[in-house]
Amino acid sequence: MYKVCKFGGSSLANAEEWKKVKAIVESDDDRHIVVVSAIGKANKKDDKVTDLLYLIYQHHKYHVDFLPLFEAVKEKYLTIKRELNLNVDIESEFEEIKERIEDDDISEEELVSRGEYFSAKLMADYLGFDFVDSKELINFDYAGKIVEPETLECIERAVSVHEYMVVPGFYGSYPNYKICLFSRGGSDVTGSYMAKGAEADLYENFTDVSGFYMADPRIVDNPRHIAQISYDELRVLSYMGASVLHEETILPLIDVEIPIRVLNTNQPDDQGTWVKKHVSGRKHLVTGISGKKGYLAFSFIREKRPDNKLTSLLQVLDIFREYRVPIENIPTSIDSFCVVVEKDEIEEKYYDIIADLKKVPGIVRIDEDENLALVAVVGDNMVRKVCAPAQIFKVFSDNDVNVRLIDQGIDEYSIIVGVSNADFGKAIRALYDSFAHQKVSE
Ligand code: ASP
């Protein structure tokens, strides 16, 4: 067996957590590659190193003293080093980075990546593994898109040289060898590429919960644990708000079918959640329910002319493409269509986009609904049952939740419903109560 394991920021928040990580890694010789995040929060009031690094960059950019924050980050790493009696020299590297910030000689991406870098340096020393820099392994193009063949080749080469290694998550390099970051939470994706490049049998993702639950425990009390979930189901649930894994984690693994096991650093013997291409033997109709608030729906009312139907839609979509605003949903009807986007994605460009949208010929009116939440009901087993959408409507009408839009995926394993932000929690709880224990056979 060859295993890649990844430890998230909360599993590295203090020396006690590091000891748990070491015990886990050392309990199984098959754990050859360890991917680490930056140090995370030790408690609710604590700060994540990655957030502090972004702040340091901004402080310096706007000529505000960055040193207190810099010292706070440095102290987090030096405390781990001291408490675990480690030797690796990170002090001089911190000094060098400080000088480079002062000299405007470091990019934001490189500075932010140092959280993972220093975690990996210390972890390699602690475990007695080789440190291998992801800068040498993960290749991006200039658009920030991963170049998979080169990346896999580099990982393969590293695996042939280093039997046991620690790799920093979250970053790689552009073709000019400068640091490029994944999006936030991207160390999960580093782990996937490491697993694929190493042709691993298993990718273990250690975090601070024992895998996935049917709904967000902050919204639903004691939700049902999910023992197995398919790549496809997980992708929708993560995209729609389930935050345990980065939504792109599964992408590199789909074609090679390497399973992921999400495990808890604090309770490593819990069964966790298996994520696989195909899961079998599950009896429940619905696997998970997730959702997000903060969407904006633009409704476009068209002139009633048949030739106008496609052109106005295409022109509107083109405007969103130009401004690089991802579209979440496009429900259409005879004389109108709707475009749903995330509010955060549009905020800064809002007035420019509106001005351009108003110029599209054939549109008589544009309405906006800015209090939209989307809720996803997901389950491979729904394919085998005709009643799921009807049950969702019934749940909502029984609970006075007004449905603003509904979209059933072509593959029929996900149904996405739009409700108002105010109804979000109520909608998730009502759906959970209705579907939590329902079996396919019922
Ligand atoms: N440290 C980075 C973040 O906070 C990446 C990661 O932890 O995966 O987003």
The preferred substitution site among 12, 48, 77, 249 for testing ligand 1, maximizing ligand atoms within 8 Å of CB, is 48
For residues 241-256, b (16+ Cβ closer than 10 Å) or e, as one string?
Answer: bbebbbbbbbbbbeee
Cα of 38 vs centre of ligand 1, distance in Å, is: 6
Q: What integer pLDDT is reported at residue 396 of this predicted model?
A: 94
Cα of 68 vs centre of ligand 1, distance in Å, is: 22
Cα of 113 vs centre of ligand 1, distance in Å, is: 9
d(CA 107, CA 292): 32
Question: Is the sign of the CA dihedral 424, 429, 434, 437 positive or negative?
Answer: positive
Cα of 7 vs centre of ligand 1, distance in Å, is: 11
What does pLDDT average to in each consecutive run of 10 residues of the chain (442 residues)? 97 97 98 98 93 97 96 98 97 97 96 98 98 98 96 98 98 97 97 98 96 93 94 88 88 96 96 93 91 94 78 92 92 88 91 94 90 92 78 93 84 88 95 91 71
Ligand 1, CB within 6 Å, residue ranges: 8-9, 37-38, 48, 50, 115, 169-170, 184-188
Structure tokens at 204: 């273990």
Number of Cβ within 10 Å of residue 36's Cβ equals 32
Look up tokens 């993960």; give the residue: 138
Cα of 196 vs centre of ligand 1, distance in Å, is: 20
Cα of 218 vs centre of ligand 1, distance in Å, is: 21
Number of Cβ within 10 Å of residue 1's Cβ equals 10
Cα of 417 vs centre of ligand 1, distance in Å, is: 30
Of ligand 1's atoms, which has the minimum distance to the CA of residue 190?
A: 8
Structure tokens at 298: 């633009």
Q: What integer pLDDT is reported at residue 238 of this predicted model?
A: 85
The preferred substitution site among 6, 116, 249 for testing ligand 1, maximizing ligand atoms within 8 Å of CB, is 116
Of ligand 1's atoms, which has the minimum distance to the CA of residue 184?
A: 9
Q: Are 179 and 107 in contact (CB under 8 A)?
A: yes
Q: Are 49 and 9 in contact (CB under 8 A)?
A: yes
DSSP β-ladder status, 273-276 and 212-213? unpaired
Nearest residue (by CA) to ligand 1, atom 2, is 185
Q: Are 376 and 237 in contact (CB under 8 A)?
A: yes
Cα of 246 vs centre of ligand 1, distance in Å, is: 10
Q: Please, which residues have CB within 8 angstroms of residue 311's CB and are 6 or more apart in sequence?
A: 361, 362
- Cα–Cα distances (Å) from 256 to 111, 169, 201, 223, 235, in that order, read 34, 21, 10, 31, 16
Cα of 39 vs centre of ligand 1, distance in Å, is: 9
Nearest residue (by CA) to ligand 1, atom 6, is 185
Q: Please, which residues have CB within 8 angstroms of residue 418's CB and are 6 or more apart in sequence?
A: 295, 297, 329, 340, 372, 373, 374, 375, 403, 404, 405, 406
The preferred substitution site among 10, 37, 53 for testing ligand 1, maximizing ligand atoms within 8 Å of CB, is 37
pTM: 0.89
Of ligand 1's atoms, which has the minimum distance to the CA of residue 38?
A: 1
Q: Are 65 and 59 in contact (CB under 8 A)?
A: yes
Q: What integer pLDDT is reported at residue 44 of this predicted model?
A: 87
